[in-house]
Amino acid sequence: MGPDDRRLSDEGLAPEGTGRIRLIACGALAHEILALKRANGWDHLDLQCLPAKLHLRPEKIVEAVEAAVRAADGPVFVVYADCGTGGALERKCQELGVEMVEGPHCYSFFEGNAAFAARADEEFTAFYLTDFLVRQFDAFVWRPMGLDRHPELRDMYFGHYTTLVYQAQTEDPALDAKAEDCARRLGLAYQRRFTGYGDLAPRLAGLGG
């Protein structure tokens, strides 16, 4: 994990620029949002990322998002899906009067929520990784689950999975090779599916320029 990734994981990313709308986002989406901002010239959007490690503690997401929204000066858009909060984040955003990304999690909106739902019956034994989770597999999957210390836990955690599906946001052979190695380490079949940014790009584009 490089210093920039470590900062995103542990500290998040402070807001920058003078845009009209602040994006309060999961740190696991920083690379993707910044890439979209650069590609589309979305200078009206400022990015503030909360620590990516909240991905491991969904019960802390609502409180962290609420604090960031209340501290913001001006319009806010929340770049989190439900992310394991059981609808609590959506209810809090409604209470605060802010909008958020639609979908149960980033795997769904990267695939496209409608397409992900349509695959649900055929992929109920799939384990998903995004670009971020491939890069940070050891920090966000392998070590937190204790597999580095107790490899025998693999069957307990992944015995009901059959396939690792890498939802690729970018065309990167190095990430593809790493994702395939992740599948090997978990004892799963490997499938790569290029999704790009899915529903995230049009949703951010809809915030206006």
| Burial class of residue 39 in the structure, from the number of CB atoms within 10 Å of its CB (0-12 exposed, 13-18 middle, 19+ buried) | exposed
Decide if 167 contacts 197 (C-beta within 8 A): no
Extract the tokens encoding 55. Answer: 């991905």
**C-alpha–C-alpha distance, residues 192 and 156, integer Å:** 24
**C-alpha–C-alpha distance, residues 192 and 161, integer Å:** 16
Tens place of pLDDT for every residue, the chain, 209 residues?
455 665 665 666 666 666 789 999 999 999 999 999 999 999 999 999 999 999 889 999 999 999 999 999 899 999 999 999 999 999 999 999 999 999 999 999 999 999 999 999 999 999 999 999 999 999 999 999 999 999 999 999 999 999 999 999 999 999 999 999 999 999 999 999 999 999 999 999 999 76
Domains in the chain with CATH codes: 3-107+197-205 (3.40.50), 117-194 (no CATH)
pLDDT for residue 14: 65
